[in-house]
Structure 1
Amino acid sequence: MQASPVRAERLKSISLLRGLLLRAGTETLVARDCPQQLMGAFVFARNAVVLCANNLKDDPERVWETLAHESAHVMQHCRREPIFESDRLGLDFLVAHRRSPDLFKAVGQYHPSQHRSEIEARIVQGLPAEEVMNLFRRACADRLL
């Protein structure tokens, strides 16, 4: 069975972003026993992104969104500061929230000190693939080998 052009393009984006993460020194690991609601995580102490295969169900769109989301946390780590300027964050949040209001409901479950980083990650996961990769290249430029 041949992959659809959209699926093939998404798989290519996943591969390219994983390559960028690796060039920046961040491993991408796959776990098969994550808690039910967890799609992925950035493990700061290990400098690794974990993708939860048991919850992503081999769905390239879900894998992409999770990888893009976790790459935002890697970008925040590279920069040691937020990804977006405060004035842009508000506008990006409004646009992203209108596009997918449910995506932001879970932010309230995090400690208030984590709200900004989680909002940024949700904005990033909704961006086009090329924009995510360009943002990553800028944020982690000094770590790219």
Structure 2
Amino acid sequence: LLVIGVTIWWNIKSDTEKSNLMVSAHQYEKAIEYDQNNSDAWMERSVSYNKSGDFKQGFEYLNKAVELNPTSHLGYRAWIRLRKIRDYDKALADFDRLDSLTPNFVDAPWGENIDFLRGECYFGIKDYRKAIDLF
């Protein structure tokens, strides 16, 4: 009976709903098969690569997530660029772009104040005055 219920559910759901279910089940490749525009699937697919230091592969997936939904994924990409790669210029560009997309709102990529993170970027490129202003 359970199999019949699951089959009926599966048959009435859209590909987007199936894709979201696959993301929640950590089946990112399958999620992308169902919905190429599921930015969360692309972002989550990037995580294991970025955690293991394979940023080339990780950023192929992450860049697609940012392309599809920049407001949701720019903060993560900027954070990875800042904290893992130490690419301060690109991280700063991502933080600035995110901030421009969310006016009248203080962003907090990965729970950290965006201005503080931008300050770290300026510190990294040795613009200490700008860093202090943002801190």
The structure with more strand, counted as a fraction of residues: 1
Structure number, greater radius of gyration: 2
The structure with more helix, counted as a fraction of residues: 2
